[in-house]
Chain A
Amino acid sequence: MQPILVTENLSKHFGGLAAVSQVSLEVMPRGVHAIIGPNGAGKSTMVNLLGGHLRPSQGRIRFNGRDITRLGAHRVARLGIGRSFQQTNVFAGFTCLENCWVAAQARQGSSLRFFRPARRLWRVRDRAEEALALCGLEHHAETVAGDMSHGEQRQLEIAMVMAAQPRFLLLDEPMAGMGQEESQRVVALLGRLAERFPLVLVEHDMDAVFSIAGELTVMVNGRVLASGPLERVRDDPAVQEAYLGDGVEAC
């Protein structure tokens, strides 16, 4: 199996600070590739780099063989890379359905349509409803996003990503702030998704990571400590010492 996403010596400097340094990793076309590491390891910067929100100082990113290093966020999204945010980033003033609707519409051809009411575009609406159902939010379709609980908003985050029918999922701490039960539901959902798509997951929740991840990249201080199949990385002595040595590090 050829990797679907490859980074080559990816680096990002902010002034004198190297947030990400010489990161080379490979993501397989199926399964969960988790990126873990202590705070400040550069994980969020990695997500922003992969998503096109930041331009690398050095290095390359290839998606399906194509060099996407210099593409901006909206072009990267159009290639099918769907990204969720660590800080909840939904459209607070829209209903859940409208949130997913906007996400779905992006991939349904041109949005430069001015005359038909948006509600009438059935195909887009169907996608939005499917995405909501997938994440267990179908009862909240007409609820204004800003009125929901934190956990529900995190679910909406994922629903929005799904509504855009991505070919590659990039999730930044999707379970942050979720309760036990919700987390488990989301973990199950992610596991199902990973059977069909490649999924890059940045997470602190080790239980979740170990239950679904097939590949693991451990980052410390902006560099990759180890990267590869889960068991091999987990058993790597350097990784154990630096990060996993004390059991589950709930950073």
Chain B
Amino acid sequence: MDPAFLLIQVLNGVQYGLLLFLIASGLTLIFGIMGVINLAHGALYMVGAYLAFWFTSRTGSFWLAILLALPLTVLLGLVIERWFMRALYKRNHLDQVLLTFGLILVLNECQSILFGNDVHGVPVPAPFSGSIPLTDVLSYPVYRLFVSFVCALIAVGMYFLIQHTRLGMVIRGGASNREMMAGMGINVHTVFGLVFAAGTALAAFAGMISAPLSSVYPGIGDSVLIISFVVVVIGGIGSIKGAFLGALMVGLTATFGTVFLPELSGAVVYALMAAVLLWRPRGLFA
């Protein structure tokens, strides 16, 4: 086994895992704090990817595209929370599953109407378009390292937010804290809106930065959705630490699975989840 090849797979796995962390962290927070299953989270990733594509093709600059797209996704998150999520806080799981399923249909179809069903690509942005040579024949794309770096930075930022701020304390407390939050003088609606918007932005941002890596096409939301759920289940709902470790586990498993078991690569991640559930039905860190 060529060490450079192995290194590439590990780097890929970590990068995939870190990206998954961005998405899964939003998902686990939304469920942990607000008690709502949000099936539309993957669609938000897709929204980010398409916005990145569209703004890049209009402005020519990937960075400008992200700058323009981010506030839009925050706005989208706030709107969805206000109009739809708020109605779901007191409802049962079936209602939540179905309503967010409806949202997926709406968002997917909007994407189809606005952008059509072709596959689109986003060019890797300028400063990072090179590769670092590892051996005579193998090299590693700089952009992937950049993506890993950015995601890790965000992860560190989240860690500080959660461990060292009052908002973080509220988040760590969990969903049952609604009364306690109100008792502490925190406006629950504001917190929920912020958390949901943040989760949306994270998922969309993940979509944006991964657009140059994988193409932009209908249905990318769906595949990401289920994998992120696997991460959340493995890590334990509501746990950011769990989402982080779970994401890395899933990222590495998926990457190595594709390389060593190509026929079963899709199923390998679920086998991991089954194994974790057998051992710890509530995830590793719930």
Whether A and B touch directly in their complex, counting CB atoms under 8 A apart, is answered as no
Enumerate chain B interface residues (CB-CB to A < 8 A). none
Enumerate chain A interface residues (CB-CB to B < 8 A). none
